Amino acid sequence: MARNGGGNTAPALTNRSKVSNGSRLFASADGRTREARLLRDRERELAAPLGGIGNLSPAAQVRVETAAVLWCTLEQARSAVARGERDFEADVVRLSNALGRELKALERLAAKQQAQTKAAPSLASYVGGSR
């Protein structure tokens, strides 16, 4: 039995969680900490070659978020090593490798998008070429 009039309508944007609609970074954080601001900055940097955060597919969004978290965590581990707090060398290596894999995946996504953009003619070039 269908509710709310039935059909295959998408849920309203106001009926989504703050995390899903992008107004909050995490469910349990308000995003004002230094780390949260850094994470948002990293996400923007990583999403820029893919057309920006608002233009990411769900898969690309997960890749960007994962790479941003790895990047921020790697920076924190490197800082801890520099301060001599703990032995984080193994963590730095693991984080560097994982971040490298995510960055390569993002590079492949960006290259794929650029190839698709170049392959499709613009309306102006199509109209201009047919005269």
Structural domain boundaries in the chain: 30-116
Query: Which pLDDT value is given to residue 1?
Result: 46
Identify residue 79 by its one-letter amino acid code: S
110: CB partners within 8 A, 6+ apart: 49, 50
Query: Cα angle at 16 between 41 and 37, to 5 degrees?
Result: 15
Query: Which pLDDT value is given to residue 10?
Result: 61
Strand pairing partners for 29?
A: 26
d(CA 41, CA 63) in angstroms, rounded, equals 15
Mean pLDDT, contiguous 10-residue spans, the chain (131 residues): 54 60 56 88 94 92 95 92 83 94 95 81 70 48
Other CB atoms within 10 Å distance of the CB of residue 114:
12
